[in-house]
Amino acid sequence: MLTWTKRSTIIRVALVAAAVGTVVVVTRAQNQTSFFITSAGPGNGANLGGLTGADAHCQALAKAAGAGAKQWRAYLSASASGAQAAVNARDRIGKGPWSNAKGVKVADSVADLHSENNKLGKENSLTEKGGVVNGRGDTPNTHDILTGSNMDGTVATGAADTTCGNWTSAGEGSAMVGHHDKQGGGANPNSWNSAHPSKGCSQANLVATGGAGLYYCFASN
């Protein structure tokens, strides 16, 4: 017959084992995370500090979530400017495959990511913390994700600005955005990366369009 002391010890051991098991599961999920939507932008509208600043923000968020050992890149295109050649978002993110913070694989390759076979959408396009990003019908709606890209992942071009001054403007300009929940308005309402242009580049204008200055991050290695 177990004494109260022995019974308490067994219970404590069981609780510790369960806690350790939970930590192991969470750590494994975080370690295999290779895709997320930023839980928050830098806070200055579409001025992300250029591609370098955007990458650094991805890296910092990933590190805080336990996935900082990977090399992170923002899924953002940039327009040609002066001596700077155009940059395509699809060329920045490695070869894949990519999985979210819960271990769900969202795409096998760059081609798969830009096809109808990808597993993106509100359920799987999670933050680095594994959180769900508000979509159409939620309050507030923050489904507009900055990309500056066409549906194939190349830089969006046209008469108007599509990258908010290559991610250095929080005022004038516009940015092409996608809908992470694959629904809404615009020319391509179901597109995760190229639904419509934003109303402007300030935080207020991004919010008014249906966003929050969020963007996609991918592990490139």
> How far is Cα 74 from Cα 57, in angstroms, rounded to an integer?
9
SS3 43: coil
Q: What is the DSSP letter of 91?
A: G
pLDDT at 158: 86
User: What is the full per-residue pLDDT of the chain (221 aa) written as tens digits?
Assistant: 545 444 544 445 344 344 434 333 444 445 789 999 999 999 999 999 999 999 999 999 999 999 999 999 999 999 999 898 999 999 999 999 999 999 999 999 999 999 999 999 999 999 999 999 999 999 999 999 999 999 999 999 988 999 999 999 999 999 999 999 999 999 999 999 999 999 999 999 999 999 999 999 999 99
To the question of domain 32-219 being in CATH 3.30.160.20, the answer is: no
pLDDT at 147: 98
Query: What kind and span of H or E run contains 216?
Result: strand 211-219
Residue spans per domain, the chain: 32-219
Name the residue type at position 90. Answer: R
pLDDT at 210: 97
Task: Give the residue carrying structure tokens 């990977």.
Answer: 70
Beta strands in 141-191 (DSSP E): 144-146, 176-179
Tokens representing 146 are: 């900055």
**Number of other residues whose CB lies within 10 A of the CB of residue 62:** 24
> How far is Cα 81 from Cα 194, in angstroms, rounded to an integer?
21
